[in-house]
Chains A and B, each alone.
Chain A
């Protein structure tokens, strides 16, 4: 049942993007400076666009239409990692989450752009340029703020330590892991996680931030199969508030 395996993969990608896109849009109007407010909001919008691309592909594979899938499910039907549903907190946390998530995302897109599934490869190839900018944005700011002042360094370090176990949850193994790897759909979570560690280490080495020992951390799994924190349902309620007034309305 390769089709089910692919759907499982697409759902987790799309749900991550939708939820993080919505979370990061909460910064609109509150960004640390005007230019960063615009950049952060614009990237949030990119994420929503990416989720739409993958929900559309799922729709073509027989799943519900994108609006219904995005707005009408409850928390336990979402496949996003718990990392992306956490509240935006202060800017240091949102920046670190953006750094950890997008460095993983670009590797996923690079892998998917080589997929044996042509439809997936096409979308990943088209969108990876945007993710490339997201990574450049995150890495540049982490490099700058990770070696700027005592306050910026200690804030980022604290956020890094808090976020890291959740970030490892991005790579929660799927039930269909081996099937997807064997079919050449993508390289699999374990491979992505290893590459990701190399990438984020290389950036952090240029700063005063220290990457905690990964082996000592307990990854936060569960999100991929519907286990979420108490933060997801309120987010969904707010996101779908207008849509649910009249789901049949034409926009």
Chain B
């Protein structure tokens, strides 16, 4: 390794000082990543409602809505048309191409 990563070393110092990353946090990130991937797969065929995505992705509707809300905020999902009492969600063009 070179010594060009001075800011990173501060980060690692802080990590050490704080006793590393809690396992529960790492587990949560892994679960979110898996949920996000499952939701993207469920939406690959076209727009779906929260209950439909939840059933396809093996998540609870509550988790699904929370993940979709986050994905919408950060640009990978957009709201689509209404289907009865639910909105449909779709991958954004950028995300669908990726």
Q: Report whether chain A binds chain B.
A: no
Point out residues on A near B: beta carbons under 8 Å: none
Point out residues on B near A: beta carbons under 8 Å: none
